[in-house]
Chains A and B, each alone.
Chain A
Amino acid sequence: MSTPARTPRPEDHPIAPYLRMDRMPHIWCPTCGIGTVVKCFASALEASDLDLDKVAVVSGIGCTGRVAGYMNLDAFHTTHGRAIPFATGLKLGRPELQVVVFSGDGDLSGIGGNHLIHAARRNMDLLVILVNNFIYGMTGGQNAPTTPVGAKSSTMSFGNFERPFNLPHLAASCGATFVARWTCLHIRRLTKCVRVALRKKGFRFIEVVAPCSTLYARLNRLGSGLDLMRFYHDSAEIRHGADTRDVEIGYQDTIVCGNFVDIERPTYLEAMRTHYRERLGDRYVPMPEEGGWLHA
């Protein structure tokens, strides 16, 4: 007599230990791409040899801003645009932490744009995963700094006429040491990319293009999230090492994907420690890896 097949429970999923299963179901819409990116991140954590007690995740506000709340890590859901400076404080306050910023295009490149460019310039030791859905989703589909020219949004009813950011180029030109772009269709490649980025130091920036079927696809009559995934399948072009000047995203145009930049440069903490050691010699007392004067 055979044992009847047990219905798989959500807790049995291989990435369940990386999520706060007591917070499921999540708030994201059906066919939203953010969950897929979370899955890739969790798979990359699973494949890494990181001590997860020392990994912190920080989000800002918005749809992707909810990621921190679902990760079973030390997790901070902060203010709109301020995930990067909050994460900077975490990293500098306890240098042994591996700090990941997980947020959206509007949060990180709109209201938080100034922090993005300065963290890249300083080569702050942060991994930034930016989910780009071309629109402000949480508030109802308003125009974003990433909305392609011609695409409609709820505040550009006749189509966007503002030039959007080319985010990989922005990050690379400001000094990021690792820059990549994938879509959430590229599950294996994105997972591997996050794995590689987790092993690297310095300011690492991964843009992930993901569908917003409820707003972006609906306002632009692009069909369902599934149709957008089909579009990614047909129009994504993988060009590792591409010159980031050439990876702008036009409306329903080719999405150039790949790992564009992978260089070495001293991180903020490395530069600071080297500099003070040179200048102050034995007088230099660096902050301990576990934090500053913890009254021990």
Chain B
Amino acid sequence: MKADPLGVLTGVHYLDGDFACGEGAMAAGCRFVAGYPITPSTEVVERISRRFPTMGGTFIQMEDELGSMAAVAGAAWTGTKAMTVTSGPGFSLMMENIGLAAMMETPCVVVNVQRGGPSTGLPTMVGQADMMQARWGSHGDYPVIALAPQSPQEAFDLVIDAFNLAETYRVPVMFMMDECVGHMTEKVVIPPHDEIEIVPRRLTAQPPGEYLPYHSDDGSVPEFARAGDGYRFHSTGLTHDDRGYPVMSPECQDESVRRLVAKVRDHADEIVRVEEDGVDGADVVVIAYGITARVARMAVELARRQGVKAGFLRLVVVWPFPERRVRELAGSVKAFVVPEINLGQMVLEVERCAAGRAASIPVAHAGGGVHDPTRIVTAIVEAAK
């Protein structure tokens, strides 16, 4: 279906990534946001809190990020699309209720405008060191999807995809921005509302009494019932059966957690999204995401000028990781070069998929700035030898 015109600011704009992300969320149909101020993400909720009163949306500034994420999970159960926005320290606090959202199968979006860490780290400066936390930050086995925009335009476009993926798979979706993308200002084109495709909540047609909140005919994503529609369902963070009732047994745990994880794992090919340039026949492929992808692209050009057969692969969707593609490439390339603004996180995934058939070379940056492209060029040239 098409977007609600009230939420879509059609036109050509000059926006920073945080504002563009906020506009994208509103275009995607988000009408509830709970947040707590944290640099460098705050502009997202500043934008939303100013625009929501004219489009039937509610923003609440909660007492902390624990409460923000809990409120988002609660609001999502009314059918209202919901999002929260934060940065590293707040992301840590949200992990508790991200796990709840995953366990209850609650569609929602969590934006993390990454800064340098650990702890308070570099509040106003860039980092990409929460990538593993986005995947594994809450306890237990659970599914997530994560996207990483490289520009304000993508902050707009991809956050709509984030909402649509959350609806399709009933999972919390991590929107992994970074401070550079959040604070850079560029042209953002917002299309007319009828050109924006929205995935609506998949509400059950089963009557109350017959509806089982955690049953799925194909063993994947269950249909949804909103609180207040007469279903009188029960949902819990405890291990539960199809009725949503707690069952403390290894058998129920096995069945329910396997289904939970399989929702994303079995559909990885539909969710994974990469952007490639000159990968076929390349000796070295650079893999990057977010702001680092833009630096890496320049490095690839510079390396090509030096005669290296260099390819480029950008992770648009970061989780699930494009395992199949990296395995394929590992059979034909000498090496993967992985620049990222952390001391080596996604490179571990590359290494796992390459499985020794190609080298996986990190180009680490501890945070606070972007890479000098010549460092990446040097790594590419060395790897090609």
Contact = CB atoms under 8 A, between A and B. Distances in A.
A74 B77 CA distance: 10
B228 interface: yes
A290 B80 CA distance: 9
A113 to B, nearest CB: 10
Given A90-B75, A292-B32, A287 B230 contact: no
A74 B228 contact: yes
Given A292-B80, A293-B81, A93 B32 contact: yes
Interface residues of B, number: 57
Contacts of B221: none
B234 A294 contact: no
A89 interface: yes
A291 B79 contact: yes
B58 interface: yes
Contacts of B1: 295
Contacts of A81: 66
A68 B237 CA distance: 12
A235 interface: no
A72 interface: yes
A110 interface: no
A94 interface: yes
B331 interface: no
Contact of B71 (A74, A85, A272, A295): A85
A114 interface: yes
A78 B67 CA distance: 12
B266 interface: no
A89 B236 contact: no
A292 B56 contact: yes
Contacts of B4: 293, 295
Contacts of B229: 53
B54 A68 contact: no
A291 B58 CA distance: 10
Given A73-B232, A292-B58, A89 B34 contact: yes
B55 interface: yes
Interface stretch (A31-39, A155-163, A208-216, A278-286): A278-286
B323 to A, nearest CB: 31
B76 interface: yes
B278 interface: no
Nearest to B31: A292
Given A75-B234, A287-B31, A82 B228 contact: no
B7 interface: yes
B55 A79 contact: no
| B6, B32, B96, B227 pick with most chain A CB within 10 angstroms | B227
B67 A87 contact: no
B56 A287 contact: yes
A20 to B, nearest CB: 7
Interface in A56-91: 56, 58, 68-69, 72-79, 81-82, 84-91
B238 A77 contact: yes
A171 interface: no
B22 to A, nearest CB: 15
Contacts of A286: 56
B32 A285 contact: no
A295 B245 CA distance: 30
B244 to A, nearest CB: 9
Contacts of B246: 69, 77
Contacts of A285: 6, 53-56
B66 to A, nearest CB: 6
B60 A92 contact: yes
Contacts of B238: 77
Interface in A19-60: 20, 22-23, 52-54, 56, 58
Contacts of A292: 31-32, 56-58, 80-81
Contacts of A218: none
B176 interface: no
A82 B79 contact: no
B56 A82 contact: no
B57 to A, nearest CB: 6
B54 A290 contact: no
Nearest to A114: B63
Given A287-B56, A294-B79, A89 B74 contact: yes
A65 to B, nearest CB: 10
A14 interface: no
B97 interface: yes
A97 interface: yes
A96 interface: yes
Contacts of A200: none
Contact of B82 (A93, A115, A276): A93
Given A56-B227, A77-B238, A294 B80 contact: yes
| A85, A86, A276 pick with most chain B CB within 10 angstroms | A85
Interface in B225-282: 226-238, 245-246
A15 B4 CA distance: 44
Given A77-B238, A93-B78, A284 B53 contact: yes
Contact of A69 (B82, B227, B245): B245
B382 interface: no
B380 interface: no
Contacts of B227: 56, 74, 76, 90, 94, 97
A182 B73 CA distance: 32
Given A75-B234, A76-B234, A93-B32, 12 more contacts: A53-B229, A77-B236, A78-B97, A82-B67, A86-B74, A88-B60, A89-B71, A114-B66, A285-B56, A293-B31, A293-B55, A294-B79
What are the 8 tightest A-B residue pairs by CB atom distance, in nearest-first order?
Answer: A292-B31, A89-B74, A93-B75, A93-B78, A89-B71, A89-B75, A85-B67, A94-B78
25 contacts: A20-B245, A22-B245, A56-B228, A75-B233, A75-B235, A76-B104, A76-B235, A82-B67, A85-B62, A85-B71, A86-B71, A88-B60, A88-B70, A89-B32, A89-B74, A89-B75, A90-B75, A90-B227, A93-B74, A94-B228, A280-B54, A291-B31, A291-B80, A295-B198, A295-B201
